[in-house]
Amino acid sequence: MAMSGDNFQNKIKGTFVVRVNRNENATWQGNVTWVEERKQLMFRSVLELIKLIDGALECVEQEQEDAEENSE
């Protein structure tokens, strides 16, 4: 299913660069950079990586909701 340019831009909430430094104990260790916020955090497992990204996206969604409420 193709998305129009406007629709696609509205869906982008964050860009993350994941750098895996090691693969130990059947999981990844490394760092993740949130490009838009210029924040970099280390992670010790894939689960921790997913939680970091999910938390960042929740912040973006909350900020968007707050901005919409303030504009009304």
Contacts of 33 by beta carbon, 8 Å cutoff, 6+ apart: 16, 17, 19, 39, 40
pLDDT at residue 30, as a whole number? 97
pLDDT for residue 69: 82
8 A C-beta contact, residue 13 and residue 61: yes
Taking residue 54's Cβ as centre, other Cβ atoms within 10 Å add up to: 10
Q: Give the model confidence (pLDDT) of 22-63 as tens digits.
A: 998 899 999 999 999 999 999 999 999 999 999 999 988 888
Q: What token pair was written down for 26?
A: 């059947």
pLDDT given at position 23: 94
Q: What is the pLDDT of residue 64?
A: 81
Please give the average per-residue pLDDT across 10-17, as a whole number. 80
